[in-house]
Structure 1
C-alpha cells in the first residue's frame, strides 16, 4: 500500500508544469528536520499532492509519485547553492531529498480555502493553524476524500 504525502513548492521556483517539462526530478532544498524525516520515510510508489504555495491561489495543483527513495541532498555541499549548509558533508549528510515524477496535473487548483472549509478535512495537517511544513503526510482517508470531491466538482 502506498503512503500519501503533500509537498509544497513555490511555483515561481518549481511548479507542477516544471515537473511535467523536466520529468523525474529531485525534491531538493528541504531544510526543516521534520520535513526531512518525512522524506526519509517515503518509498518508491508513494503518491504526493503537489501543492503550489506562496501564490494566489495556493493549493493542490496535481499529483506526483516518488520514484527514488531518500538520498543525500547534494545541494547542501555546493557553496554556490542557496541550499548550502557547511555542516552537511558527504561523509555525514544532514539533508536528504527524494525524486518525484508527474502523475497528473489537476484541471483546476484545489485551493487551501476550499480544503479549510471542508469539515471532513478539519484534522488534516495542512489546514491546522501554524502548519508550515513543506513536506507532510496525508492520511489515506484524506487522500481519498480530496480525490472524490475533486471528481464531483
Structure 2
C-alpha cells in the first residue's frame, strides 16, 4: 500500500463535497510529475486530503477506489489521467501547514519541498504520524 496527499481549494471542491458525493474522479491534473504519481496510485492506497488556499490544512482521509484511467478532460492528447477516490473520514484535528513546518518528523514531506504540486507521495511513517496527530 502507498500513501498520498492531494490538494484542493476548498472553494472549488472541499472534503465536505467529497463526503457528500462519497467519491469523485480526481481529474484535471496538468503537471507531468503529478500525472506520474496518479499513474502509481493503486486501489486501497490511502490519501490525505489537503485544503490549499487560505485554510492550508490536511482535513480528511480518502482512499483510491479506481486506478488511473484516461482523463476525459484531456483535449490536447498528452496522456493526462485521472483516478477515483472515495471519502473515508474527516480528521478530528486538521493539521495546518504551520504545524507541519514545525514538526521535524515531517520535514521531508513533498508538501514542503514542492508546494505547488497537487498530487504527491507521503512516506508511511509521516502518514502514520499525521493520522495519529489528527485523531
For the aligned pair, the TM-score class normalised by the smaller chain equals: over 0.9
Deviation of the 1:107 alpha carbon: 2.1
Report how far residue 5 of structure 1 moved: 0.1
1:75 deviates by: 1.4
CA contact (8 A) 2:5 2:49 kept: yes
Q: Work out the CA distance in 1 between the residues paired with 2:91 and 2:132.
A: 13
Shift of 1:54: 1.1
Q: Distance in 1 between matches of 2:16 and 2:26?
A: 14
Gaps of 5+ in 2: none
Is 2:92 aligned against 1:107? yes
Note the aligned Cα RMSD (angstroms).
Answer: 1.2
Q: Name the one with the larger strand percent.
A: 2
Equivalent residues in 2 for 1:22-33, closer than 5 Å: 22-33=21-32
Please give the secondary structure, in 2, of the residue aligned with 1:148: helix
1:96 corresponds in structure 2 to 81
Larger Rg: 1
Gaps of 5+ in 1: 78-86
Secondary structure of the structure 1 residue equivalent to 2:43? coil
Please give the TM-score of this superposition, normalised by the length of structure 2.
0.95
